[in-house]
């Protein structure tokens, strides 16, 4: 059902695609400018950086929750009462809704990728292993983004005015996920800070693996970190969910 | 003309009173807005601190440019952001009502609601601008400060002109929202960057087609004595405020003419 | 000189024909083809000051389009429209000062503010001087019974209360002309009567010309002496209600309830039976024919009658038939 809803906003997505491509263009222009004839900076050459930007921006666009789950809307319209009758399936429903949304949006990402590459440039994976590991990391990152998105969406149970909070989450998340600046260019303290949060595991990690920046044993560590965050996210979701349930019951719905 | 300003003030005050009912939200939305601007700034800061300069512009130069862009946007947004909702106003029948009152319909459109999200835009812009201005090596005197203000107002007028012109599509075509989004994205994304980093074709487009360059880059160039970097004419930077005024007037006339094609909701 | 003069008014809407299928939006953009729809197709009428005219028509007939041209919202494709000697769309703001408009579907009041704030704002928008505003406010508060909810935010008002607020707002600056577009839609019986009573008062006052667009024929029967009927963009009828009924439905119905026979048992030549149901019989009696008495006598002589009644034609039925035939009998 969410796929259908996504399709009905076709024009919206098309235009956000334009925004996506404009962003890719701008970022690659900036990178080319700062590299200014230098081939490599910090061990990363220009083509790798451009590939990061190109693939990364499309990837981030695909992952970022469009609507922070269906929860806020349900709470507002009161339909949540019906949903709460079947709690566990409801959790599954939230995630299914998000996945459906992504499925609806995915064709656009597929459409945008070649254009983005045309604008920015791409690179092949660092190695065959890197390619496979990227696939795995990609899936993990997506799950992580979805689950955390659902957790954040739960805030709707406590307040109806959520837009400011979502914006804060989205913006900080975007930055710390390395969607604009890859972690390898951030000053030490900032990239360390980024590791405290799950965001980098949602976007930066798969890209780092893909480009061969993280290789060998490091890949295992990266994947492990993602799994760790995933477990935490799931636990958090269940915790927040039970709290939310309790709150709704105590408030009478 | 005086009457129109009076009407504008009356209506704006009413819109603000309407929004004050939802006080808690204002704080939250403001925080969200700061986050939005902050990230853009953080990006630039990381880049420049890592690489030393962007397009030859130092961090303080870029900060000034960024501050001017943000403030310009805030100055535009607070009184005029509602123009983005012209589709909604038409669809809901509000616009019909505007045409039946003895007040300029554009003024009524702009004051239909007070956009609390824009408080953070203006506030954030002023904060960044003040910090950047004090750190910058521009000699601040009556002339330069005056030009700074003129440049910011001019930039707001350019943004006003662009959005207004695109919004008039709503009178002839069903939706103006998507083209406005595109225009907004271009302004938002490319606006705070020094133009020398762009390929020359893009620079031309951003100067003469969608006049983003006039919003902040050109006046900033003039202030920072970087007029030589402008490939077309080095006085363009000084002309920016006047260009803003001209563009705004032209856009207004276009809008009023297009109004004749207004067909009402659902037609 | 009529207050409102409309001659040969035409309004066409061009709509791009949407292409279906893949890339439909793109193809629509590239190969533009238009559908032209004539919403108003040569409408002419005149309204004098002080009249209360009902403007009727089915959905899509061109009612609101005509009204929108009269109020200056839309620019006509061709034809003449003059209100108080001025062309509405050319002198929109000047025309606006003379008119009050109430859209039944959409309030003009400020949603989040108390009603009194809206009234105050409107008085300022129309440059109503303090003294006149106070006087008008007093008058309408009393007439429309606004007292108890003047300070309530509009979003908390019931539909009936909001409509009363809108009526006050529209009349606050004493416009010469009042357009009411579906003012009773969605209202309960009591609220409807309130609105009708108010409009009747305005008419009695003589200073206000009222154009009433409505689907509710009770509104029309109660308030209007003259109606203009429009369908498919053309005027079908323009005149009094009585004349319309007489011209179009020059008959009445005699409903007979038989005592112990089914209606099918009645076989009287020359009798125009329109309906039979159980023991009820409906006979159409034309105005010029033998007359009710004769028909009644004939039936009574042949059958035992329990009861009978004479029914006048309904405006609704008349109008329905007119729309169905898309013409008015000469």
CA distance to partner chain B, nearest, from residue C75 (Å): 6
Distance CA B41, CA B34 (A): 10
Per CB-CB distance under 8 Å, the chain C contacts of B21 are 112
Residue C254 has pLDDT above 50, yes or no: yes
For C147-193, write each residue's pLDDT tens digit: 999 999 999 999 999 999 999 999 999 999 999 999 998 899 999 99
Q: Quote ipTM for the complex.
A: 0.82
Per CB-CB distance under 8 Å, the chain C contacts of B264 are 68, 73-74
Element (H, E) at C306: strand C305-311
DSSP-derived 3-state class of residue C211: strand
Per CB-CB distance under 8 Å, the chain A contacts of B41 are none
Tokens read off for A6: 């996504």
Is C107 an interface residue toward B (CB < 8 Å)? no
Express as a percent the part of chain C with pLDDT over 90.
49
The tens-digit pLDDT sequence of chain B (267 residues) is 788 888 988 898 888 888 776 666 777 778 888 888 888 888 888 888 888 888 888 888 999 999 999 999 999 998 999 999 999 999 889 999 999 999 999 999 999 988 887 888 899 899 999 999 998 888 889 999 999 999 999 999 999 999 999 999 889 876 788 888 889 889 988 888 999 888 888 899 999 999 999 999 999 999 998 888 888 888 888 999 999 999 999 999 999 999 988 988 864
Distance CA C60, CA C234 (A): 12
pLDDT of residue C133: 95
CA distances from B195 to B62, B119, C109, C284 (A): 11, 28, 47, 86
In B, minimum Cα distance to C108 occurs at B97
Average pLDDT over residues A140-144: 88
For A41-63, write each residue's pLDDT tens digit: 777 888 888 888 888 888 888 88
pLDDT of residue A80: 65
DSSP state of A101: H
Place of tokens 């902040």: B216
Is C255 an interface residue toward B (CB < 8 Å)? no
- A73-82, A237-246, B115-124, range with the lowest pLDDT: A73-82
Is C159 an interface residue toward B (CB < 8 Å)? no
- A10-19, A62-71, B228-237, C250-259, range with the lowest pLDDT: A62-71
Q: pLDDT band for C28, please (50, 70, 90 cuts).
A: low
Distance CA B226, CA B231 (A): 11
Among B28, B185, B189, whose Cβ lies nearest the Cβ of A165? B28
pLDDT of residue C288: 58
For A149-189, write each residue's pLDDT tens digit: 888 877 777 776 677 778 888 888 888 888 888 888 888 88
The pTM of the full predicted model, rounded to 2 decimals, is 0.83
DSSP state of A184: G
In B, minimum Cα distance to A10 occurs at B178
Residue C22 has pLDDT above 60, yes or no: no
Among B21, B94, B102, whose Cβ lies nearest the Cβ of C96? B102
In C, minimum Cα distance to B8 occurs at C125
Determine whether the interchain pair B182/A18 forms a contact, defined as Cβ–Cβ distance below 8 Å. Answer: yes
Distance CA A177, CA C320 (A): 67
Size of chain C, expressed as the number of residues it contains: 330
Strand order in the sheet with C99-103: C99-103, C177-181, C209-213, C52-56, C226-231, C234-240
Concatenated DSSP letters of B179-212? HHHHHHHHHHHHTTS-GGGS-HHHHHIIIIIS-G
Express as a percent the part of chain A with pLDDT over 70.
81
* Comparison of pLDDT for A172 and A249, the residue scoring more: A172
- Strand locations in C135-247 (E): 177-181, 209-213, 226-231, 234-240
Of A157, A150, A159, A156, nearest to A246 by C-alpha is A157
């Amino acid at each position: 059902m969410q796929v259908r809803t996504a399709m009905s906003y076709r024009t919206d997505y098309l235009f956000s695609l334009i925004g996506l491509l404009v962003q890719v263009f701008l970022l690659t222009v900036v990178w080319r400018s700062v590299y200014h004839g230098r081939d490599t900076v910090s061990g990363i050459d220009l083509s790798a950086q451009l590939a990061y930007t190109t693939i990364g921006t499309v990837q981030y666009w695909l992952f970022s929750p469009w609507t922070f789950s269906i929860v806020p809307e349900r709470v507002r319209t009161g339909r949540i009462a019906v949903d709460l009758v079947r709690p566990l399936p409801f959790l599954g429903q939230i995630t299914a809704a998000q996945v459906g949304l992504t499925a609806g949006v995915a064709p656009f990402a597929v459409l945008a990728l070649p254009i983005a590459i045309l604008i920015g440039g791409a690179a092949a994976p660092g190695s065959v292993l890197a390619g496979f590991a990227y696939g795995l990391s990609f899936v993990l990152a997506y799950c992580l983004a979805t689950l955390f998105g659902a957790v954040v969406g739960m805030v709707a149970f406590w307040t109806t005015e959520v837009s400011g909070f979502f914006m804060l989450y989205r913006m900080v998340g975007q930055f710390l996920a390395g969607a604009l600046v890859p972690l390898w260019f951030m000053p030490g303290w900032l990239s360390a800070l980024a590791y405290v949060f799950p965001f980098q595991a949602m976007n930066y990690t798969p890209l780092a693996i893909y480009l061969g920046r993280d290789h060998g044993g490091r890949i295992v560590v990266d994947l492990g970190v993602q799994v760790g965050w995933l477990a935490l996210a799931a636990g958090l979701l269940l915790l927040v969910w039970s709290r939310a349930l309790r709150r709704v019951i105590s408030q009478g719905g | 003309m005086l009457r129109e300003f009076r009407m504008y003030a009356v209506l704006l005050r009413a819109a603000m009173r309407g929004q004050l009912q939802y006080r808690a939200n204002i704080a939250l939305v403001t925080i969200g807005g700061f986050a939005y601007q902050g990230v853009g700034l953080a990006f630039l800061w990381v880049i420049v601190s890592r690489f030393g300069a962007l397009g030859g512009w130092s961090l303080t130069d870029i900060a000034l440019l960024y501050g001017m862009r943000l403030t310009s946007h805030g100055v535009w947004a607070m009184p005029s952001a509602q123009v983005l909702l012209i589709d909604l106003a038409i669809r809901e029948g509000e616009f019909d009502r505007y045409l039946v009152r003895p007040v300029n319909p554009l003024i009524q459109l702009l004051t239909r609601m007070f956009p609390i999200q824009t408080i953070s835009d203006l506030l954030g812009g002023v904060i960044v601008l003040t910090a950047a201005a004090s750190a910058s090596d521009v000699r601040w005197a009556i002339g330069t400060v005056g030009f700074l203000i003129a440049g910011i107002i001019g930039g707001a007028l350019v943004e006003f002109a662009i959005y207004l012109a695109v919004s008039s599509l709503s009178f002839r075509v069903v939706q103006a929202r998507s083209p406005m989004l595109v225009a907004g994205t271009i302004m938002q994304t490319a606006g705070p960057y020094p133009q020398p980093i762009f390929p020359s074709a893009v620079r031309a487009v951003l100067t003469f087609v969608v006049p983003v360059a006039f919003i902040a880059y050109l006046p900033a160039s003039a202030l920072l004595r970087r007029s030589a970097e402008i490939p077309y004419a080095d006085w363009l930077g000084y002309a920016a405020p006047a260009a803003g005024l001209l563009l705004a007037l032209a856009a207004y006339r276009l809008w009023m003419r297009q109004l004749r094609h207004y067909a009402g909701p659902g037609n | 000189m009529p207050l409102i003069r409309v001659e040969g008014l035409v309004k066409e809407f061009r709509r791009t024909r949407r292409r279906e299928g893949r890339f439909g939006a793109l193809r629509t953009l590239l190969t533009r083809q238009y559908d032209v729809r004539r919403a108003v197709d040569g409408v002419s009428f005149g309204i004098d000051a002080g009249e209360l005219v009902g403007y009727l028509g089915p959905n899509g007939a061109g009612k609101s389009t005509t009204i929108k041209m009269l109020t200056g919202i839309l620019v006509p494709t061709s034809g003449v429209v003059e209100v108080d000697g001025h062309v509405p769309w050319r002198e929109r703001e000047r025309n606006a000062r003379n008119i009050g408009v109430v859209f039944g579907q959409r309030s003009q009041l400020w949603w989040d503010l108390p009603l009194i704030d809206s009234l105050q704002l409107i008085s300022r928008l129309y440059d109503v001087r303090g003294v006149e505003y106070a006087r008008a406010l007093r008058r309408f508060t009393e007439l429309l019974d606004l007292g108890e909810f003047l300070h309530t935010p509009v979003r908390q008002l019931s539909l009936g209360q909001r409509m009363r607020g809108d009526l006050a707002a529209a009349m606050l600056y004493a416009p010469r002309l009042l357009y009411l577009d579906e003012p009773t839609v969605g209202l309960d019986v009591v609220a409807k009567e309130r609105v009708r009573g108010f409009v009747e008062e305005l008419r009695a006052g003589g200073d206000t010309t009222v154009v009433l667009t409505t689907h509710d024929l009770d509104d029309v029967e109660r308030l209007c002496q003259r109606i203009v009927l429009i369908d498919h963009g053309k005027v079908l009828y323009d005149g009094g209600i009585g004349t319309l009924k007489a011209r179009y439905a020059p008959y009445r119905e005699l409903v007979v309830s038989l005592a112990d026979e089914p209606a099918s048992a009645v076989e009287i030549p020359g009798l125009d039976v329109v309906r039979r149901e159980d023991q009820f019989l409906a006979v159409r009696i034309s105005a010029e024919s033998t007359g009710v008495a004769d028909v009644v006598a004939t039936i009574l002589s042949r059958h035992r009658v329990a009861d009978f009644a004479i029914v006048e034609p309904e405006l609704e039925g008349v109008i329905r038939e007119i729309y169905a035939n898309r013409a008015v009998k000469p």
